[in-house]
Amino acid sequence: MKVPPAFRSTKGILGTAIVLIVLSIAILAPILIPADWATRMDMRARLSPPTWAHPMGTDQLGRDLMFRVLLGAQTSIFIAAAAVLMSIVIGLPLGLISGYMGRTTDNVLMRLVDTLLSFPALLLALTISAILGPNLQNTIIAIGIAFTPFLARIIRGEALRVAQMPYVEAARTAGNSDLRLITLHILPNIMPAVIVQATISLAFAILAEAGLSFLGLGTQPPDASWGLMIQASRDYLDRAPWTALVPGAAVALTVLGLNMFGDALRDALDPRTRGAA
Amino acid sequence: MSYILNRVFSMMLTLFLISAITFAVTNILPGDVAMMIMGTQSNPEALAGLRETLGLNDPLLVQYGRWIGGMLTGDWGSSLVFKEPIAPLLVQKMTASGLLVLFSMAIALTCAVPLGVWAAVHANRWQDTAASSTAMLGVSLPDFFWGIMLILLFARGLGWLPSSGFVDPAEDLGAAIRHALLPSLALGLGLMAHLTRMTRATMTGILKQEFIRVARAKGLNEGTVVWRYGLANAVGPVMTVAGLQVGYLFGSIIVIESLFNYTGMGWLTYQALLNRDIPLIQASVFVIAAVVMLANLIVDLLYAVVDPRIRLS
Amino acid sequence: MKRRDFLKTTSALMGGTVLYGLTGPAQAQSEPVRGGTLIWGHSETTQNLDMHQTGTASTGRVLQNVHDSIVTVDQDLNVIPNLAESFEQSEDGLTYTFRLRPGVMFHNGKTLTSADVKYSFDRCRNPDTGAVNFEVFNAVDSIETPDDLTVIVTLTSVNAPFLSRLAENGAGVVMPEGSGDEQGNTPVGCGPFRFVRREFGNEVELERFDDYWGGPAYLDRIIAREITEPTVRLTGLRTGELHMINDIPADRIAEIEGADDLQVVSWFPLNWDFVNFNHEFEPFKNPKVREAFDHMIDKDVLLEGALWGQGAVTASPSYPTSASFNSDLGQRPQDIEKAKALLAEAGYGPNELSVVFKVTTNYPYHVEAAQIMLEWFRMAGVDASIEQLTWSDWLSQVWVDKDFQISMMNFFTLWEPDFLYYSLWNTEGAFNYRKISHPQVDALTAKARVTVDPTERAAIYKDVQQIIHDDTLDVVLWFRNGTIGAQPAVQGLDTIVHPNGSNLRFHKVWLAEA
């Protein structure tokens, strides 16, 4: 297979490498490392700085930060991926219908989407999370719903653009049904944009999960998630800065990788927007 | 003109939708405020009495009517948990957060625009790589992590700036600015990175365009070409993105204000949410959504004014 | 000496809160001076400022200085005169007569009379007020005011704890007649300090009330800055921005005590903690299962882990210096094997029992404690998980709906034993959110209510504690220490802690010239 030029750039290579590494940690760590290594406590080694026994130090309950950050990868990434998937599943049909049908349907749907967009996504997620109660599944729903209006808006724009293209017009005059037009002609043509958007949303979803956990509404202790780890470090910042730095670096690296990967993906799939932010 | 009227009318409609959504959503929140007021000292009889006093037993439609009526007539009611009148409270907290949003916007724009232009001018050379990678790193760090870093460095480490609290600008402007600086930076760094990327992308596109080539061919000095002609055309799109980020900022302040103990809108909304202080949640969520919408409207209108297509013709 | 032993010995010797000590360099200045503004870094946000309606300790702590109660307690928790210069109880225990102190001024310039007392009591007992301590007046038949300085309260039945309950502001506060509606955001009372303003979420300002009946306070002004982040509070104290802070972060106390430029006041108890079982959750209906869980918990390690050792373990929740404290009671030691055996006896093999531990983020140390206990539960073959709830969710799910399996809570200063044992462990108790229904406990707590003789009452409560422990109705863990950190200039700190261990009094606190 030919590697698209975009992925031969430093950005593309680095991004792909980071994403692959983080993904394999998320998948392999729970298999290779016993789950209780992330929750095992040692009251004699509380807030220990990095040592040979604990290469990344320990937290306030003497738990090993390296194991916590490795095992936490799965939680953070799973939540983010599931939430983005959910927002696509809801946002895709909404955006497609709105963009394709136009007129009143478009007006009504987009008015609703615009209204929802006036609520900051984190505020929306926070409120939904407060309504549903804090657990893994509800965190996914909260982030998923909060991201939906944004995705719907982007998909609608794409659908609108594609629907006006000559070949779609031609297919329409040839007597194809609406459903056929949408699924066979429009959908495949907007998929590149959707995939690029999904990658970027994934980065945002990881940040959102961290934010929610930071406010106590995401992942539940003693399970490790990066946001939860940063939250727990707050009271020990000046004594033990590594408790914040370790999970913070994990979030930063993952999001950085996803962003670079997303950029490269955009350049490769969607030459029209090459170079755009 | 009709464009503006149209926009204003649609804004009224959106405002109404916002109010309906806000009311509907806040009413399915579990738990209730009477319990929060009494805490673990509560008992069923006292709870029932307090609920009645607070008007929590009225039908929903009656409560909605009362709320909308109150909002329209300027009577925003009182917070149930804190017993403070809501309207002055919101003015005070909005001022606090407005300070943060303005500061972070100013920080972001003053750094992002020159940096983005600089990167675009040197596209694909080391200057571009340096600026772009820095920006990429910037957008990848969660803002509360920026916040923690800033606290460690400037408050705990160097001791230059206070790490927490809010001071009313009317009381002590200097202190107010010092207290707002770190949270604004925490908010602004991510935003700056984002806007740098945006400016670079827009400028790269513009610098390839015909009129720039014409300007260069005319023998105009490169600085004039870039900053006068190039940037003038980039202002619109960059401003639009910046305006859209107001919504993002109002989400981020929830975490950042809580981290910095900065008692603005984000802090207030979060407290209200935790306390199930329904009137306060409704009012603050509504106000945030309205402000975000207004920011977008203003940007749209400004864009119509500075739109390069209008200018060039 | 272990803290536990310390507790046992001191409880017999001293009254009220046990002052562990006052360390640090208080500036030696014998004569109190008047003046100055004290800036206090308060650990919590004040809420509704209506003394009748608020149930939060943070608000009560500030209002302690604004209000005064009709009677109060001394260091030994004996009820003594306050706004009433004398009080008497009739032979049959049904009538209380209060003679009010003449010339007591309210902050609004009015003089306190029996009408204000009647107004305050009536307001508290009116269900529409939504007063937290509404049930104190349950047995009240009438409140009469024969003259300006006499109040006669008649009960329908004997209520032994009545007078003690009036010794705290929640029920015993006297507000000026007709001031009810303004109490919520501008409280008016007759305490040593006048409420000036609250900048919501930031600070509360109080100023000296020169006409205070107990003599004017020393400080001109108190500014209570609400700083909820513990490390931020500590930084403020260190940099000198704050004169004093309450609630020093537990892991930093030793370090601050060692610092030679700061004073530390520590005392106990500030509050006490216990682990709760839902008695209607099938497995916990069996006392063996409850006992098994008790055996899984190492209380000393838990105290170290969750509170960095800042407290003293106890099996009795009675105020450690009160007559009803059962010092013969010991905690069960950790014994995982025994716990497994007890579970097996109850019919639960390894990993056959699964429980959810609901804990509130309102008390971060509860979240830590729950995580530590979870490890032990898992070691004993229990499949356990945590659900951390915001305060409002905890209150609605655990407190009101009783929808939980295991939880954990703390209580402030329920030094009055009826308030403590009847409310928490009687089937009808207002705080019985664990659905406990123990006939013997019911009978004993009801009997104590109508027992007037103090020795007899104390003996009954000791029996109640024995049952709570024997049948493991809950697992009582520890008393938690209270702490204050202060600059050397802050004087009179030995008087600052109210005998109830929770409230702070600034009447006799003063600032030395720096």
pLDDT at B310 over 60: no
Provide the pLDDT for residue B312. 37
pLDDT at B1 over 80: no
The DSSP line for C239-268 is HTS-SEEES--GGGHHHHHH-TT-EEEEEE
pLDDT, mean over chain B: 80
Strand partners, C21: C266
Phi-psi region of B16 (alpha: psi -120 to 50; beta: other; left: phi over 0): alpha
* Beta carbons of C451 and C457 less than 8 angstroms apart: yes
Helix (H) or strand (E) holding C150: strand C150-155
Amino acid found at B117: V
* Beta carbons of C136 and C190 less than 8 angstroms apart: no
pLDDT digits (tens, 9 = 90+) for C426-440: 998 878 889 999 999
CA-nearest residue to B90 within chain C is C200
User: What would the mean pLDDT of C302-325 be, rounded to a whole number?
Assistant: 90
Chain C residues 383-402 with CB within 8 Å of chain A: 385-390, 393
CA distance C101 to C113: 9
Q: A277 versus C42: which is more confidently predicted?
A: C42
Provide the pLDDT for residue B43. 66
Give percent of chain A with pLDDT exceeding 90: 18
Closest CB from C55, C126, C127 relative to B41: C55
Burial class (CB in 10 A: 0-12, 13-18, 19+), C329: middle
DSSP state of C476: E
Q: Per the CB < 8 Å rule, is C375 touching A239?
A: no
For the ranges A132-136, A186-190, C189-193, C453-457, which has the lowest average pLDDT?
Answer: A132-136
Query: Is A127 within 8 Å of chain C by CB?
Result: no
Provide the pLDDT for residue B10. 80
User: Among C457, C380, C466, C474, which residue's Cα sits nearest to residue C93?
Assistant: C457
Q: Per the CB < 8 Å rule, is B36 touching C395?
A: yes
pLDDT digits (tens, 9 = 90+) for A114-163: 888 888 888 888 888 888 877 788 889 999 998 999 889 888 888 888 88
Chain A residues 248-277 with CB within 8 Å of chain B: 248, 251-253, 255-256, 259-260, 275-277
Range with the largest mean pLDDT of B66-70, B151-155, C176-180: C176-180
For the ranges A86-90, B201-205, C42-46, which has the lowest average pLDDT?
Answer: B201-205
CA distance C57 to C247: 13
Helix (H) or strand (E) holding C87: strand C84-89
According to DSSP, the β-strands at C95-100 and C140-147 are unpaired
> Using omega within 30 degrees of 0 as the cis cutoff, is the peptide bond preceding B59 cis?
no
| Structure confidence at residue C291 as a pLDDT band (50, 70, 90) | very high
CA-nearest residue to A238 within chain C is C231
pLDDT at B229 over 80: no
Provide the pLDDT for residue C5. 39
Q: Cα C103 from chain centroid?
A: 31
Q: What is the 3-state secondary structure (H, E, C) of C150-199?
A: EEEEEECCCCCCHHHHCCCHHHHECCCCCCHHHHCCCCCCCCCEEEEEEE
Q: Per the CB < 8 Å rule, is A259 touching B252?
A: no
DSSP state of B157: I
The alpha carbon of residue C351 is apart from the nearest alpha carbon of chain B, in Å, by 33
| Structure confidence at residue C21 as a pLDDT band (50, 70, 90) | low
Structure tokens at C166: 């009036």
| Structure confidence at residue C26 as a pLDDT band (50, 70, 90) | low
pLDDT at A1 over 70: no
For the ranges B40-49, C42-51, C299-308, which has the lowest average pLDDT?
Answer: B40-49
pLDDT at A275 over 70: no
Closest CB from C230, C364, C388 relative to A134: C388
Q: Per the CB < 8 Å rule, is B136 touching A210?
A: no
pLDDT at A276 over 70: no
Provide the pLDDT for residue A2. 61
User: Among A14, A260, A196, A208, which residue's Cα sits nearest to residue B197?
Assistant: A260
> Using omega within 30 degrees of 0 as the cis cutoff, is the peptide bond preceding C283 cis?
no
Provide the pLDDT for residue C372. 94
Q: Per the CB < 8 Å rule, is B273 touching A252?
A: no
Question: Chains with ≥3 Cβ pairs under 8 A against B?
Answer: A, C
The alpha carbon of residue C46 is apart from the nearest alpha carbon of chain B, in Å, by 8
Provide the pLDDT for residue B38. 66
Q: Per the CB < 8 Å rule, is A216 touching C361?
A: yes
User: Rounded to 10 degrees, what is the CA torsion of A64, A67, A71, A72?
Assistant: 50
Q: Per the CB < 8 Å rule, is A61 touching C368?
A: yes
User: What would the mean pLDDT of B125-147 be, rounded to a whole number?
Assistant: 81
| Structure confidence at residue C18 as a pLDDT band (50, 70, 90) | low
Provide the pLDDT for residue C234. 87
**C17 three-class SS:** coil
ipTM computed for the complex:
0.79
Q: A3 versus B86: which is more confidently predicted?
A: B86
| Structure confidence at residue A19 as a pLDDT band (50, 70, 90) | very high
User: Which residues from chain A sit within 8 angstroms of residue B202, using beta carbons?
Assistant: 277
The alpha carbon of residue B112 is apart from the nearest alpha carbon of chain A, in Å, by 13
Provide the pLDDT for residue C14. 34
Cα C60-C62-C67 angle, rounded to 5 deg: 75
User: What would the mean pLDDT of B136-145 be, rounded to a whole number?
Assistant: 80
Q: What are phi and psi of C475, to 5 degrees?
A: -110, 105
For the ranges A43-47, A160-164, B26-30, C118-122, which has the lowest average pLDDT?
Answer: B26-30
Q: What are phi and psi of A260, to 5 degrees?
A: -65, -45
CA distance C169 to C121: 11
Q: What's the full length of chain C, in residues?
A: 514
| Structure confidence at residue B39 as a pLDDT band (50, 70, 90) | low
* Beta carbons of C375 and A39 less than 8 angstroms apart: yes
CA distance C218 to C240: 21
CA distance A130 to A137: 13
Strand partners, C246: C484
The alpha carbon of residue B263 is apart from the nearest alpha carbon of chain A, in Å, by 16
pLDDT digits (tens, 9 = 90+) for C380-407: 999 999 988 887 788 888 887 889 999 9
Structure tokens at C462: 């000791």
CA distance A167 to A183: 14
Q: What are phi and psi of C427, to 5 degrees?
A: -50, -35
Q: At what angle do helices B86-121 and B173-207 cross, to 10 degrees?
A: 40
Query: Is C238 within 8 Å of chain A by CB?
Result: no
pLDDT, mean over chain C: 88
**B117 three-class SS:** helix
User: Among B197, B300, B189, B244, which residue's Cα sits nearest to residue A154?
Assistant: B244
Structure tokens at B24: 């509907």
CA distance A147 to C216: 60
Provide the pLDDT for residue C413. 67
Contacts (Cβ under 8 Å, ≥6 apart) of C447: C460
pLDDT at B313 over 70: no
**C393 three-class SS:** helix
pLDDT digits (tens, 9 = 90+) for C68-93: 999 999 888 889 999 999 999 998 88
CA distance C47 to C63: 11
Provide the pLDDT for residue C269. 85
Contacts (Cβ under 8 Å, ≥6 apart) of A25: A70, A73
Provide the pLDDT for residue C3. 40
Provide the pLDDT for residue C10. 35
Contacts (Cβ under 8 Å, ≥6 apart) of C353: C283, C289, C343, C381, C382, C383
Give percent of chain B with pLDDT exceeding 70: 90
pLDDT at A274 over 60: no
Provide the pLDDT for residue B124. 75
pLDDT at B44 over 80: no
For the ranges A230-239, C194-203, C446-455, which has the lowest average pLDDT?
Answer: A230-239
Cα A13-A19-A24 angle, rounded to 5 deg: 125
User: Which residues from chain A sit within 8 angstroms of residue B240, using beta carbons?
Assistant: none
pLDDT at C117 over 90: yes
DSSP state of B230: I
User: Among C145, C147, C127, which residue's Cα sits nearest to residue C137?
Assistant: C127
For the ranges A164-173, C294-303, C318-327, which has the lowest average pLDDT?
Answer: A164-173
Provide the pLDDT for residue C447. 93
pLDDT at B18 over 80: yes
Q: Per the CB < 8 Å rule, is C231 touching A222?
A: no
Q: What are phi and psi of C274, to 5 degrees?
A: -145, 160
Provide the pLDDT for residue C369. 95
Q: B55 versus C465: which is more confidently predicted?
A: C465
